[in-house]
């Protein structure tokens, strides 16, 4: 796989936290930020996976450290932010990616799964933003991950998940307005990326998967590192200095958000 190569040092001197960075989209974003010159705090619940991503960044010549944290634990979140600042000396970028899924029809979805999605999604995002705010003042950037499930005309089967992701977008817009005077920019992305789950679905239900892929104008799923990651790099760079409170669909044109 071709790795993402950012413009030289576009994020040099930046320190970023990426939650849920042990795999998938979070891993891709962490690698892309590092390629752009940022120091990366690779955050997740499983020490082995986040350590592997941190090692991958270091092997490529970047700087990264793994931090085990359950973002549904408010005390752990406070400790995480303090530990990152102590390790790197600053915090300038926050990417809220971690979230537990909650799929199924509204009459079928388990209440524990619903609460888990809310706790790991909007509540954890709110906690992470509040804990990071003092360190982000004066030029910090936040990128939160939403989902196209929240803007589909029919979110049947994904309603609980979509509700959590839309709550994240509301928090994004609110923080963008409330913290503009603190010189903190806050944006969201709606990613569509390949994953182990997607690959399994394509294998098990090829016709359904092909029909889904046909709704993507560019005709393919995004790569977490080379397609999704660069969008986050852009939103964290000076190139987007006049962009805040925005939702950017990074999905090959599927959502056609305007």
By annotation, the residues acting in catalysis are 161
Cβ distance 94 to 144 under 8 Å?
no
Tokens of 135: 């360190």
Q: Which of 166, 246, 252, 173 is nearest to 217 (CA)?
A: 252
Pairing of strands 93-96, 64-68: unpaired
| Dihedral sign from CA coordinates of 139, 226, 47, 20 | positive
The b/e string for 206-232 (b: 16+ C-beta within 10 A; e otherwise) is: eeebeebbeebeeeebbbbbbbbbbbb
**Which backbone phi and psi does 35 adopt, to 5 degrees?**
-65, -25
């Amino acid at each position: 796989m071709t790795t993402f190569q950012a413009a030289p040092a576009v994020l040099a001197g930046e320190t970023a936290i990426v939650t849920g960075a042990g795999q998938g989209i979070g891993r891709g974003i962490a690698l892309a930020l590092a390629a752009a010159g940022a120091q990366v705090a690779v955050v997740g619940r499983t020490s082995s996976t986040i350590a592997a991503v941190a090692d991958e960044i270091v092997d490529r010549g970047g700087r990264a450290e793994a931090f085990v944290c359950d973002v549904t634990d408010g005390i752990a979140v406070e400790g995480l932010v303090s530990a990152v600042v102590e390790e790197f000396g600053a915090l300038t970028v926050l990417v809220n990616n971690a979230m537990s899924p909650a799929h199924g029809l509204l009459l079928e979805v388990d209440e524990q799964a619903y609460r888990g999605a809310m706790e790991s999604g909007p509540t954890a995002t709110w906690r992470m933003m509040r804990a990071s705010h003092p360190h982000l003042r004066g030029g910090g950037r936040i990128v939160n991950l939403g989902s196209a499930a929240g803007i589909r005309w029919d979110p049947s089967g994904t309603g609980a998940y979509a509700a959590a992701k839309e709550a994240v977008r509301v928090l994004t817009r609110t923080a963008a307005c409330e913290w503009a005077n603190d010189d903190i920019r806050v944006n969201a992305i709606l990613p569509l990326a390949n994953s182990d789950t997607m690959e399994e679905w394509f294998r098990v239900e090829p016709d359904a998967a092909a029909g889904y892929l046909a709704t993507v104008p560019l005709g393919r799923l995004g790569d977490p590192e080379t397609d999704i990651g660069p969008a986050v790099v852009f939103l964290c760079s000076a190139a987007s200095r006049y962009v805040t409170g925005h939702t950017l669909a990074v999905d090959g044109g599927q959502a056609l958000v305007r």
